[in-house]
A and B are shown apart, each in its own frame.
Chain A
Amino acid sequence: MSTAPSELEAFVEFADNPEARCPCVLLLDTSSSMEGEPILALNHGLKAFKADLCKDPLASRRVEVAVVTFDSEVRVVQDFVTADQFEPPGLLTHGETLMGSGIGKALDMVAARKAQYRFAGVLYYRPWIFMITDGEPQGEPPEVVAQAAQRVRQEEEQKKIAFFAVGVEKANMTKLSEIAVRTPVKLRGLGFVEMFVWLSRSTQVVLHSKTDEQVALPPPGWGVV
């Protein structure tokens, strides 16, 4: 072992879990309009997400979950951890909808994590960013949103990420389709549990097939396009 111990220190986690990784950022709207039932349903959905991922021996070790919330500020509630170590947070609502900044943060996190994988030599699948909102960008200059949308488009084209947008209740679907390349999906009611179970199964489909192929999604039973 010729590498210096100091270099290795940061990568104890990859020694402990050398499996290929599938990073998945949950980018969640926690603005005050989500208050009440929606946020409770979302919190419930996060628990279902973990439970379903942990049923699959590969997904629990390969899917890395990060949680980023956006309201009047952007917060990294959970940095990347594998599903078996993910503790679903209890989210609260507050303030406006800094969606553009949230997207920027998620893209930065994915890039930083990929650099770590590359340094360690861990194989990875195309990262997923999964954004859930019940509104539209609010409280930030339009350039920030435009820039975020531009980055999403670019990185999708280069196959660096797969970005999905899900609208809840009164979400502005037109605005969402301007940001996401893939057609945004409108959540049926507050069916977060169904949606997260579907997300978990979709990542599992990716794990059990090729690493670079197009992410083909099973038709979602939880939403309306």
Chain B
Amino acid sequence: MQLQRLSDGQPVTIRLAFALGVGGEARIYAVAEAPELAAKIYHRPTQNHAAKLAAMLANRPEDPQTGPGHVSIAWPSDLLTANDGSGRVLGFLMPRVVGMYPMIDLYHPRTRRQKHPLFNYRYLLRTARNLAACVSALHARGYVIGDLNESNILVGDTALVTLVDTDSFQVPDPAQGCIHRCRVGKSEFTPPELQSVRFEWVDRKIEHDLFGLAVLLFQLLMEGTHPFAGRHAGQGEPPSMEERIKVGSFPYALGRAQGLQPMRTSPPLELLDPQVRDLFLQCFVEGHSHPSVRPAAQRWQEALLAAEAALVACADNAQHCYGRHLPACPWCERRKMLRGIDSFPSEAEVKRVRFHRTFSKPGRSVWHGQVDYETAIAIATTAIARMQRERAQERVVLSVLLVLIFIGLIALIRQVVLGEWRP
């Protein structure tokens, strides 16, 4: 399909059959002419889309972490119009983000251990700070993210952050004298005053974003724990997430018994740097009925920077980074409690596990007693294929070893023959 850039009329080609992603409102495609760009095309493009995008192009936020090949906010770079001369806006161009992962992959303990085992607490703190910087840059230009949640934040191996899905933000439009609202949100990240309010009916405020930001930062720094997850002491079904946020039953609130205790398996609040801890209390306790006191993104940036500077490494495992305010390594303690599961395994451990995974032959434990013929054949076929693959790997290792021994022998023989051998 052929489209045109609104700025200079240059053609843009997308292949409709190969979408990179599909959302409720639009599809995303690769751009044949520019591999560094992606095109987002709405299912039902409207005048409102066009006006909102135009306002976004006219007021681009500062990128807090520009660097080679990295953008922190996947902002629209040009509008795309139909090729039929009508000038109708169908979508827009934006930077194509590659090599980044959904943020949940890094704060979720199991996934992090499996996919990014060396992403230690220093990286988590840096991710937190980079996220706060992105939010701060947007707030500085009058934008409100609105639907701030874990799925539209991507993180890279070096803790750089990219915010995506930017066209869902709430956009001020001074030229038209209006505000383009954000019509979506997820209850887990929604502040008490907006719970059970229809998003399309309200103008979002920066202080609403600051609640969602604090939830995400809490998850990053507290082993994936949601700040309102916790044990319900009373009878009956435990209150839902919405009720908890609405009532403000933050289980870590000091000296307040509200019937909600922290999760048994979450780290203690003391894990956090004292300044960072205070900001969470300020957001979830004082900020509950006084939204204006929720810490600004910039305030988080400063506190997280200080927390990173106060990190020390554990003597037993350099991957265990923790705040200087703690008397002992909290990660060693946690490892003990979790029967040897290490939140931040040492480099040696990670290497050992990787080696083991490559060369061991794990049995497949699908035999639950009931296996049909088809499944049995499928399992046998994959097992044979795996065995053959592993044999091939072994053969490579063996031949390399043989060649090395052979080279050593030749060197030795040469030395003996040339008479340079002095035992």
**Residues of chain A whose beta carbon lies under 8 Å from any beta carbon of chain B:** 1-3, 5, 7-9, 11-12, 14-20, 30, 39-40, 43, 57-58, 61, 69, 75, 77-78, 87, 89-92, 118-124, 159-160, 208-212
Alpha-carbon separation in the docked complex, A7 to B231 (Å) = 14
**Residues of chain B whose beta carbon lies under 8 Å from any beta carbon of chain A:** 102, 104-105, 108-111, 113, 151, 186-187, 223-226, 229-232, 237-238, 240-243, 251, 261-268, 333-334, 336-339, 341, 365-366, 368-372, 374-376
Alpha-carbon separation in the docked complex, A120 to B262 (Å) = 9
Alpha-carbon separation in the docked complex, A212 to B337 (Å) = 33
> Can you list the 9 inter-chain pairs with the closest CB atoms, starting with the nearest?
A90-B375, A121-B231, A15-B265, A121-B263, A211-B240, A212-B240, A90-B371, A16-B110, A90-B372
User: Do A8 and B187 contact each other (CB < 8 Å), given the known contacts A15-B341, A160-B237?
Assistant: no
> CB < 8 Å: which of A11, A120, A121, A210 contacts B240?
A210
> CB < 8 Å: which of B230, B243, B261, B265 contacts A11?
B265
Decide if B229 touches A20 in the complex (CB within 8 Å). Answer: yes
Decide if A119 touches B264 in the complex (CB within 8 Å). Answer: yes
Closest to A5 in B: B337
Closest to B244 in A: A123
Q: How far is the CB of A199 from chain B (nearest CB, A)?
A: 20
Q: How far is the CB of B163 from chain A (nearest CB, A)?
A: 17
Decide if B372 touches A118 in the complex (CB within 8 Å). Answer: no
Residues of A within 8 A of B251 (CB): 121
Decide if B371 touches A19 in the complex (CB within 8 Å). Answer: no
Decide if B232 touches A12 in the complex (CB within 8 Å). Answer: no
Residues of A within 8 A of B104 (CB): 57-58, 61
Residues of A within 8 A of B186 (CB): 208
Q: How far is the CB of A93 from chain B (nearest CB, A)?
A: 9
Q: How far is the CB of A143 from chain B (nearest CB, A)?
A: 29
Closest to B184 in A: A208
Alpha-carbon separation in the docked complex, A131 to B113 (Å) = 36
Alpha-carbon separation in the docked complex, A39 to B370 (Å) = 12
User: Known pairs A90-B372, A121-B229. 17 more at Cβ < 8 A?
Assistant: A5-B337, A11-B264, A15-B265, A17-B109, A18-B108, A18-B224, A18-B263, A40-B372, A77-B369, A90-B366, A90-B376, A119-B264, A121-B262, A123-B229, A210-B241, A211-B187, A212-B240
Decide if B241 touches A120 in the complex (CB within 8 Å). Answer: no
Alpha-carbon separation in the docked complex, A45 to B371 (Å) = 15
Residues of A within 8 A of B374 (CB): 40, 43, 90
Residues of A within 8 A of B369 (CB): 77
Decide if B368 touches A77 in the complex (CB within 8 Å). Answer: yes
Residues of B within 8 A of A18 (CB): 108-109, 223-226, 229, 263, 265-266
Task: Identify the interface centre among A2, A19, A78, A124: most chain B CB within 10 Å of its CB.
Answer: A19
Decide if B341 touches A12 in the complex (CB within 8 Å). Answer: yes
**24 contacts across the A-B interface (CB closer than 8 A):** A1-B268, A3-B264, A7-B264, A14-B263, A18-B223, A18-B229, A18-B263, A18-B266, A19-B108, A61-B111, A69-B370, A90-B371, A118-B238, A120-B263, A120-B264, A121-B229, A121-B232, A121-B263, A121-B264, A121-B265, A121-B266, A123-B238, A159-B237, A208-B186
Alpha-carbon separation in the docked complex, A122 to B338 (Å) = 17
Decide if B231 touches A118 in the complex (CB within 8 Å). Answer: yes
Q: How far is the CB of A119 from chain B (nearest CB, A)?
A: 7
Alpha-carbon separation in the docked complex, A198 to B170 (Å) = 32
Q: How far is the CB of A58 from chain B (nearest CB, A)?
A: 7
Task: Identify the interface centre among A14, A61, A121: most chain B CB within 10 Å of its CB.
Answer: A121
Residues of B within 8 A of A9 (CB): 339
Residues of B within 8 A of A75 (CB): 370
Alpha-carbon separation in the docked complex, A87 to B262 (Å) = 32
Q: How far is the CB of A158 from chain B (nearest CB, A)?
A: 8
Alpha-carbon separation in the docked complex, A121 to B338 (Å) = 17
Decide if B223 touches A15 in the complex (CB within 8 Å). Answer: yes
Q: How far is the CB of A194 from chain B (nearest CB, A)?
A: 18
Closest to A120 in B: B264
User: Do A16 and B240 contact each other (CB < 8 Å), given the known contacts A58-B104, A89-B368?
Assistant: no
Alpha-carbon separation in the docked complex, A30 to B104 (Å) = 38
User: Do A1 and B337 contact each other (CB < 8 Å), given the known contacts A92-B370, A120-B265, A211-B241?
Assistant: yes
